[in-house]
Amino acid sequence: MSKRDFDPAQALKALTDGGVRFVVIGGIAGKLWGSPAVTVDLDICYARDPANLEALAEVLRRLQARLRGVRDDVPFQLDARSLAMGDHFTFTTSAGDLDILGLPAGTEGYAALRDRATSVEVEGVELWVASLEDLIRMKRAAGRARDLRDVEILTAVRDERKLSGESE
């Protein structure tokens, strides 16, 4: 899979159709809020209850997910039990790179993010997108150079929205 094959809409539709409870975070969430930053993967925060882990594992199998950044011969059973034993996973899928985080840095996890998230429709799919404040908090907590650049961009997007009277 090449970066040009990145199709976040396909992955989001598969997750939604599969009944997975998640909130969009990361670069795609930033773009949905108006950030001009470029991203080449989809990041989600997922609910970690057993039923959601089962649904998530099923969707990941349908998307032909493989662990990213490890050799192909590293054993990994893609099921709810394996997902429950970890928290952050990075996958390459038929729709592009997908990062799933149970407890993103700077957050209290899915329920807290979902409480403050905004519902948006993207290509006919209803999604929950993390609030700008939560995105900024996650980027600050991650602290990498690219995340700190994103903090500046997201802060400017938030401030511009406030000035124009748009709500978060």
- In whole angstroms, give the CA distance from residue 154 to residue 128: 18
Q: Is residue 65 part of a domain?
A: yes
pLDDT of residue 132: 97
Taking each helix axis from N to C terminus, what angle separates 145-163 and 26-33, rounded to the nearest 10 degrees? 20
Report the pLDDT value the prediction gives residue 1, as an integer from 0 to 100. 42
What would the pLDDT profile of 109-164 be if each residue is shown by its tens digit? 999 999 999 999 999 999 999 999 999 999 999 999 999 999 999 999 999 999 98
pLDDT in tens, 42-100: 999 999 999 999 999 999 999 999 999 887 777 789 999 999 999 999 999 999 999 99
**CB–CB of 77/33 below 8 Å?**
no
Burial of 147 (0-12, 13-18, 19+ CB in 10 A): middle
Does some domain include residue 146?
Answer: no
Q: Does residue 4 register a pLDDT over 70?
A: no
Q: What pLDDT, on a 0 to 100 scale, did the predictor assign at position 168? A: 67
Rounded Cα distance, 6 and 144, in Å: 23
At 71, give phi and psi (nearest 5°).
Answer: -65, 150
Give the CATH number, domain containing residue 83: 3.30.460.40
Task: Tell whether 142 is covered by a domain.
Answer: no
Find, among 41, 82, 45, the residue nearest to 61 by Cα.
82
Q: How many CB atoms lie within 10 A of CB 8?
A: 22
Residue 2: is its pLDDT beyond 60?
A: no
Supply the pTM of this predicted model.
Answer: 0.93
- Considering the domain boundaries, does residue 161 fall inside one? no
Structural domains of the chain, count: 1
Has residue 52 been placed in a domain?
Answer: yes
- 139 and 151 Cβ atoms separated by less than 8 Å: yes
Give the structural domain span for 87. 3-131
Does residue 109 lie within any of the structural domains? yes
